[in-house]
């Protein structure tokens, strides 16, 4: 696996003539019916960052601002077929994985990605913001031993670090130890996401490292409740930047800037946790960030 350049993905290249094909990014993840996380967040992010987004759906969830009401993993055969359809004809310059639901799906996806020349961003999604399980406990070992080794960049949050490695990071001082524990499973780079860190620094701090190079990514912490889908958005933004040919440190730095802007513009939908605004960087200013209130969503019954 290498970060490659925009012209080095798998599949047919330049079918429509050199320079005429946009960078193509594939998300392998679950569908969020509420549109804030999962496949829906990924495709919006990819569009906003000037790439062509494509999807392999691993599971369908019934989900809204209050939580996950149901989840149905797809058959392995359906996941494999979607992947082959996209890769064999269209080609991909970067892949992002999200919700994979079961050990069977984790292993199937890891097997497919082991043959990919495109960089792979693994967001090891375990539990939703509301505490709903999105990955079976029996799949954790497959994530450690099959999926993380094929990752160019892994993006665990602090709870996922604990689930996967046993390391419990309670402050920035613990991030390096957390990163080393994740890197031991084989990803080339890891981003330890500090979004869940309680503290009064006023910053949202992530650590990007490959074990020798280290980048501390700091952004203003927005006091917003509407953070549904932040992890999906960051990982997809990294994949989009990699597909455009950026080296990993630049890709992650640009992705952090994008997710920070999206959180700043997050808005209220439904009665619970609203989404970030994926359109904030499109230059047209959606303006939804002004709190529209739960009532605004009730007009459709």
Ligand X SMILES: Cc1ncc(COP(=O)(O)O)c(N)n1
Between CA 251 and CA 81, with CA 35 as vertex, the angle to 5 degrees is 75
Instruction: Give whichever of 29 and 118 is closer to ligand ATP, judged by the CB atom.
Output: 29
Q: Does 61 bind ligand ATP (CB under 6 A)?
A: no
> One of 44, 129, 193, 256 is an active-site residue; which one?
193
DSSP state of 265: T
By CB under 6 A, name the one of 61, 63, 116, 227 that touches ligand ATP: 227
Q: Does 277 bind ligand X (CB under 6 A)?
A: no
Q: How far apart are CA 241 and CA 99, in angstroms?
A: 21
99 is in the binding site of which of ligand X, ligand ATP, none (Cβ under 5 to 8 A by kind)?
ligand X
Is 193 catalytic? The answer is yes
32 is in the binding site of which of ligand ATP, ligand X, none (Cβ under 5 to 8 A by kind)?
ligand X
By CB under 6 A, name the one of 243, 263, 273, 281 that touches ligand ATP: 263
By CB under 6 A, name the one of 4, 23, 38, 156 that touches ligand X: 38
Query: Which residues are within 8 A (CB) of 298 and not within 5 positions of it... i.e. 6 or more apart?
Result: none
Partner residues linked to 214 by β-bridges: 209
Q: How far apart are CA 160 and CA 157, in angstroms?
A: 5
Asked if 239 and 119 touch (Cβ cutoff 8 Å), the reply is yes
Between CA 154 and CA 158, with CA 156 as vertex, the angle to 5 degrees is 155
By CB under 6 A, name the one of 228, 244, 256, 278 that touches ligand X: 228
61 is in the binding site of which of ligand ATP, ligand X, none (Cβ under 5 to 8 A by kind)?
ligand X
263 is in the binding site of which of ligand ATP, ligand X, none (Cβ under 5 to 8 A by kind)?
ligand ATP
Judged by CB under 6 A, the stretch of 26-34, 76-84, 144-152, 167-175 that binds ligand X is 26-34
Q: Does 151 bind ligand X (CB under 6 A)?
A: no
Instruction: Give whichever of 9 and 34 is closer to ligand ATP, judged by the CB atom.
Output: 34
Backbone angles phi, psi at 107, to 5 degrees: -70, -40
Is 274 catalytic? The answer is no
Place of tokens 């082991």: 114
In a 3-state reduction of DSSP, which class is residue 143?
Answer: helix
DSSP string, 184-239: TT--SEEEEE-TT---SSSEEEEEEESSS-EEEEEEEPP--S--BTHHHHHHHHHH
Q: How far apart are CA 96 and CA 132, in angstroms?
A: 21
> One of 194, 231, 266, 289 is an active-site residue; which one?
231
Q: How far apart are CA 1 and CA 242, in angstroms?
A: 12
Rounded least distance, CB 269 to ligand X, Å: 13
Q: Does 261 bind ligand ATP (CB under 6 A)?
A: no
Q: Does 91 bind ligand X (CB under 6 A)?
A: no
Binding footprint of ligand X on the chain (CB under 6 A): 29-30, 32, 37-38, 61, 63, 98-99, 125, 128-129, 134, 228-229, 231-232
Active-site residue numbers?
Answer: 193, 227, 229-232
């Amino acid at each position: 696996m290498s970060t490659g350049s925009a012209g080095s993905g798998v599949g047919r290249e330049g079918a429509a003539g050199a320079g005429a094909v946009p960078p193509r990014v594939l998300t392998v993840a679950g569908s969020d019916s509420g549109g804030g996380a999962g496949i829906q967040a990924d495709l919006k992010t990819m569009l906003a960052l000037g790439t062509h987004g494509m999807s392999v759906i691993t599971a369908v969830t019934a989900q809204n601002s209050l939580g996950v009401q149901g989840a149905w993993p797809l058959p392995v055969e359906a996941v494999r077929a979607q992947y082959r359809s996209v890769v064999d004809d269209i080609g991909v310059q970067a892949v992002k994985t999200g919700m994979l639901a079961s050990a069977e799906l984790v292993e199937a996806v890891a097997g497919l990605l082991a043959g990919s020349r495109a960089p792979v961003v693994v967001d090891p999604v375990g539990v939703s913001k509301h505490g709903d399980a999105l990955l079976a406990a029996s799949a954790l070992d497959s994530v450690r031993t099959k999926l993380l080794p094929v990752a160019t960049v892994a993006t665990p949050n602090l709870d996922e670090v604990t689930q996967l490695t046993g390391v419990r990071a309670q402050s920035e001082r613990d991030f390096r130890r957390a990163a080393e524990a994740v890197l031991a499973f084989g990803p080339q780079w890891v981003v330890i996401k500090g979004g869940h860190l309680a503290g009064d620094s006023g910053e949202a701090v992530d650590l990007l490292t490959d074990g020798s190079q280290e980048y501390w990514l700091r952004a203003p912490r927005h006091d917003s409740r509407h953070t549904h889908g932040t992890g999906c958005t960051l990982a997809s933004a990294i994949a989009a930047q990699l597909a455009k040919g950026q080296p990993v440190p630049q890709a992650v730095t640009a992705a952090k800037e994008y997710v920070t802007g999206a959180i700043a513009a997050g808005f209220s939908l439904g009665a619970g946790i609203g989404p970030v605004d994926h359109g904030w960087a499109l230059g047209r200013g959606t303006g939804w960030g002004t709190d529209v209130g739960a009532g605004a969503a009730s007009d459709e019954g």
